[in-house]
Structure 1
């Protein structure tokens, strides 16, 4: 068989046929960086060698690989690598636990309104006709994982991916997250869902969620951490390779571009750049160390100069010792002078204090006289008060005089009435006699009517009277029955109204319970809900603000608790509610800023107190311990808040009682009056002069302040009001039924009352008819009697009745006058007795008052004597205190001076005066300063300077030595890493060659991958069957390869390069676009076999061809795209 001709790809080719899309510069690198890398790796840089103090060479090391060259390395390891590759083909690859894509979802992305895929764990084919949007899947993967938009070859920015006419687009990708190396499995679960949304305006956002949809993060840093953990390299051109990049890479790229593609795809270029940065840092450190090394001679010279100056300065130490001795002597001479001054002051204080006892004796005598006279005054006062007063006598005298005056007025009135009655009585007698005479005369003239007519008229009158009496007798019983029914109706109505009011009250209580339940729920979320609106924000603003005085305190109720909430919480909450929600400041200038904060937060009604922090003693104002006050019922944790409540509400003197009666009893036990709050709702006051007053307390508000001082937490308070609401609801049902029953009873009673009322009206009508009948009969009888006799009889009867009345009045008048005369006599005797008692009392009172005045005068004299001697004693005591204080100060100064002198030096006995020693010391110090001027510094300063320069030199030498050693170890480490990097590069290159040859052999082709690591080039040599048959040994231009051959070569090269990368994703777009059926079938089979052999890798391959001729196994999943929707109309031609 003739030897195949090898087609070598030309290095001079820099252009190719126009690709489907514009070519990107994804694989280009700066030539200067590549040249610098080659220079360092080959060791061509030169630098002058230096010699450090330790004799170690600091010349730049040669980084050229010192081992075998490329061909020898390939000969040594080719078989071993080939065996490893062959053995891997015999083992089926496993499914990845993490890092592979489970599903992808696109909204308004490129040409898709909505598209979703569920990928298999190993091999995925996406098929569909041209224009169906297959390549959008790879673009969506790149965008969702944070890749650059221009790396997709479909646009320069995210805006290009938004479907036309839509404002935004969204891509969601689901990544598997299982196994031992899962990323944060407790937070994300078995899958990580990444959603990226971007808009026409240019904004972009991420949502990184767990499998159940919970958002874990919205930061791109979290996405980068996930990709790094799972080794997903979205911007690596070998992981997601577009169709344009693949075709252009094979047919038109330069060998240096291929080599850069190889380095970048295997991440060797990134590692090389990091090593280059390390080398630059090491070189920079070397230059810095060399510059520091040049400073050492200067430090040594400075240290030597300081030592010389120090030697000269030590000569002044003897003279300084003399100064120290004089200072010691001077110190103890001051102590000696202070001791003499102290002795003189102590003697003066003792002399002054000897006058005190005599004055105290005189004061005691004056006090004894004062006490004796005080006792005498007290005795006289007791005697005077024992007399009492004559106010009661004066009151009796006034009352008796007034009664006598009233009786005299009554007697005068009785005399006038008697005279008038006598005149009237006489006139009545005369009138009766005259009328009787007239009747007798008229009777003799009458010739009488018949006896029968008068008897019949009398019978009719008697019957009419009896009918009237019976009707009038029946009426009271009817009225009584009616009134009884009306009374029962009123009672029933009152009970009904009371029950209806109880129902309304309980409904109000139910509403109050509902409000309190809502307030409890608010307090569960906000512990300050009972104190006002947004109190946590108010407190936060108070903490962040600056204040003239102390930081405001509040709400005050936070520091207040009730010791017995069941008994006193409601009462104290009602009376102290305003204070519990108030704030306090210590400076008036802080009032307006705090008020502004409260108003802005919606709390303008909250009180603010201005109170300095005066923690005073309030115990003197408290009542006896057995009396309960507001202060004793509260537990206040903050002393400042306690004093504010004492000043504002006098809680130490405000008494508490269960009932009004108990409160009145408590106030009667208090001297000087007081106030009390009672649990049944009253404010009681008792005034010092003895008066009392009672007023009802205001009703409790139905708001969140009812939660204050309850002694229960929010949950317990809520449960309490829920139980209260249920109880009220049950009571409402009972009382509602009672209202209904009382209403029915009232209606029945009202009907009975109306019936009795009708009966009463009928009875009254009967009485009226009977009375009219009797009146008619009487008038008829009167008409039958002669008019003159009837009139005279009527007049006579009236006169007789008037006479009888006058006689009765006259008897009463006589009895009344006798009674008043007797009373007047008794009152006169009592008045005379009272006057005698008053005169006797005034005589005794005058005598005792004279005695009291004399005793008080003597006590005043004794009191003035006490004031005189007290003032004198106070003056003398002040003088003694001042003398003692002066002596005490001198003693303390003497002791302090002695202690300071002892601390300074041992005691020095001297007889010289301090001023003499001072002059001697000044002379010696002046001489010492003159010497220091000549040397420029003191001995102490020179000592410090020597130590400082010596320490600087030692530190610089040690640091330089340590840094030189560290830099050397870094260089050695970098050499080892560079050698390992070269081994990695050679090993990966050999694997790539072997796999590429193996992949070409599937089609019967032969080829090589030629690496030149020194020049940085990668060339391909491919020999096909038709070249050998038709052209013999002639070389064939790569561009003359058919589309299928180019695509097949691309697949072989990519599969060989994929063996060298660790990313779990492999994405390739339209790899078989130019393949014929044979090349496509072989390529597909080869790719499926390679994918099945790859361990924990996922392949996503896009092709416009169908899969009918391909036998897909269980590891292959095929996704078919729908045909594109063109939505084109028909062109109209005329």
Structure 2
């Protein structure tokens, strides 16, 4: 396949480039054969045949790439997309965009073209001195400005640098000012600042291979002028070595060579140390061979050590057996505790359920109080409103009283004046006028008397209305009490009826479907034995007065069943659920238990009951502590007893003398202790007691409740009769009030007639004026009297409304108190359930603590056992290393053996002292010195191996370095020849690596002579063209993604400039993925170069020409 391809390439003579390359390869080989030139590879390994093979291989590759050119593609990253300058050198604000391939920057002299490359170099981290344009960074700031900024946009596609952070473009920005502040920023494509660290910039430059400090990557104007016009052969060779970075690689290898010299010096010192260590080892070995005199004593020590080793093994084996026995006992105890803990855990779950039920009942009862409380608040608000209205009415009443008193005073004064005038007139006119006045006074007196009666009647009406209101409120409360008594009596009668009719023996009193459950129990098979229950059938009560209290407190067990194994308990619970029952199931452990009862003088629940079944007794004891809960009828005495904290007493029940059948629960404690009410059981009894006794107690309860009901009815009747009497009185007072008002009206009419007569007789007299004034004042007084009456009526109405509201509030309070009492009862039940649960939790905690301690004890012993078991094989192995197991004398212990061993060791130490050191010390000294000698020898060998490895690495790297230099040299020669052939020149590069010389030899192909001219004999244009070809050839060996050249055509004539530009563009198109930025003052468009897809022309704005003098900045 390869030979066919080569043949196809060779058979294409029409391609001038391939022909020139093949001809150049043949001529180069011929020159090599004739040895007409000095050997350029004198200092490197290999032969001329190696270079010829490389030359031929690269020639073929170059021919292939020329015949089959690849389409140029932009590099994924590293090329320059945009440069932006701000206040930099001569530019205030300049932005230049570049293409990914060939870019020409054109402009007149002075337009600031070179500033672009200077800005690129500085922005990518170079120092100011590298540019040859300024001594420090501040010198690049435009005259008259304080700060400058340079920004470069780098392409970042494909596998670019941190693509997920920067995006398709990396923006590098450098800002500096005249104060010396200098900073870098790296930004993403969106302009977001990613970093302000120069290290980030260094990472970007390393990743993208941006060789800004390489003089061949960015040839500034001075470097380009020097390279193209004045560079010597040595300078060209230096440019070549720096451009392809062979100088840096050579410096690193030389540093590696220096490290080898250090290792050689270390090896010399190591040899001296090893000789000294060898002498020390020989001396120690000589002393060790002298230890022969203590062998018998050491033999005795070894025998004793053997016995001691096996004695210690025997002691450990005995200890191991002891620990195993202890663990077995602890594990048995742990199983018993675990079983008890499981039982308590089930009790806790049962109490959790009861706590939730009690909490729900309390919540329901509390919620039922809310409407009553809201109604009470509403009535209280109305009461406050009525109180405010009453206060305003009373204020109006006081104001009217004051006005009436003032008018009354004026009336009295006018009457005194009128009396005086009457006496005067009586003397003057005889007795007629006096008679009329006397009749008038009598009528006024009678009217006053009737008004007083009317006022007294109003007061009586107000008093009776208040009495009716308060008595009505009391009657409502009496009705509520009467209804409660009726309910209690109804319940008591139902209980008595059940007892007398025999219904109390019905199993339904223990819960629904009890009969069905008993049949299911009889049909089932049980692991231990058939459960018993309901428990109430197996318990008898000795003291009937405690029936309701104990029925309430022992309710859960009395209706429950007792199982005799945990499996039977679970089975019975399933039967309970299947039959729709709610009975509790208890487990009776077969383990015996001991009771701790108080003194005989105390009546406990257990002493008040007859319990023949031991399992029932155990269940009641473990569930309710009946052996330590005492019964005291009197509540005061019960509290006093509990305050004394009698021994083995945990709780106490007492009777409530105020409410029959109820009681109190008193918890253990000093002082007042904890007291909770007990609402007694009111249903049929579940404890098997004497039926006649139950009937007697029930009948007494009915009789007592009937008496209480009669008393309550009498109280209600008295209050109701009082209300009716008060209402009758109000009716009588109201009738009499209307009669008095009619009488007063007749008297007022008659007075009006008399006043008219008196006015006719006394029209012009002073008496008439006085009587008129009296009449006016009396009319005003009557008006206020009427107002006072209205105010009194309003006052009475508000008082009655206020009393009615108070009565309703009192009734609601009574209902609320009754509901709250019920809530407190439920709260007491809730608290009791919580206490029972807390007791169970406390017991469980104690059990878990005991289990934890048991586990710790077992764990400690197991750890000790494991430690012994793990250590025992080691001890046996160590003992076996001393010697085989021996039979020990039972009387001699390990401690005694240790004592004898100490004595023998003491004798051995005395003998060792005679020779200056112990056997162990001498042996240790010999072993240590031998080890040091061996380690030193090993270190020396390791160092020698390292030295050899470094030598090999250095030789391999230098061989690769020479090979790399040879490849690059051959490639550069081929490229140079190809480029020079563009103008029919036969160009050659001659490398003298030994002397560091790079020569250019050029000859036009038309000349027949074999001699070639060097660069100094060429014309200016030919020389510049040759240097351009050299630069392009060297650029092909560079790894940087872009190349920059400033004023490359400054020494060329028009012909060479045009050819050079075409040559550069062609070379750029053949350099896949490389970017070129060329600066020229010439207008390239006049040279036939136009913008295409891969050629971009960037034109600089014309410089300012209105300067009157040259600006020179002081340095």
TM-score by length of 2: 0.44
TM-score of the pair, normalised by structure 1: 0.43
